[in-house]
Amino acid sequence: MSLQAATFIDGRDRPRLERMCRYLLRPRFAHDAVRALPDGRVRIVFKRPTRSGATHVDLEPLRFLARLVGLVPPPRQHQVRYFGVFANHHHLRERVAPQLCAALATAPVQVLLFDPTGLRPWQPGTSLPKARAQARIGWASLLARVFAIDVSVCRRCNGPMRVVRAVTDVDEIATLLHGARPPPRLPTVGQQLLFVA
């Protein structure tokens, strides 16, 4: 997301504020613009026709996933970047960024600890309790959150599922799902081959 500092919205102008919030929170692509075709390809419908008059594009599933991967930001990169006077090294940043009050910066801070009996003040010289490390969310929970797919429950009997093994080879996946290896597909003219190690 990029913040354009030239955009001003009065806090009382609720319709413009809502429109800005909807713009900032919009997804990378419209979910209703992507459809699965019966032959296995994926159709992306454009918002408006292109200069050549095309209204949609049909992609192979791997090609579609390759385009989606391009939208994923690199790890440990800032997703919010400030330009203009809000940039980190701009010479006028001190004038517009909120500063900590000098009296507040030198004021003594009282640290309160929480235990089962309630809040109690921390005494200097005593050790602070160790904070618990936040546990990572499992992939099944993430799928359930993002795509509303609960892979931990069987679709047929509603019983619990368990992970047997991770399979990444395409031929092995086809063998497990269909019981036979699929015939190799030849690339069409102009189609790029994607090799996965």
For residue 38, pLDDT beyond 70: yes
| Parallel, antiparallel or unpaired: strands 112-115 and 34-36 | unpaired
The model's pLDDT over 139-173, given as tens digits with 9 standing for 90+, comes to: 778 878 777 778 888 888 888 888 777 888 888 88
> Cα–Cα distance between 40 and 63 in angstroms, integer?
12
* 190 has pLDDT over 60: no
Per-domain residue ranges for the chain?
A: 1-28+71-101, 139-178
CA distance 180 to 140: 27
How would you label 101-139 residue by residue, b for 16+ Cβ within 10 Å and e otherwise?
eeeeeeeeeeeeeeeeeeeeeeeeeeeeeeeeeeeeeee
Question: How far apart, in whole angstroms, are the C-alpha atoms of residue 135 and residue 142?
Answer: 13
Mean pLDDT of the chain: 76
* DSSP state, residue 52: T
Predicted local confidence at residue 56, as pLDDT: 93
Give the lowest-confidence range in 66-70, 75-79, 121-125: 121-125
Q: Determine the 3-state secondary structure of 56 from DSSP.
A: strand
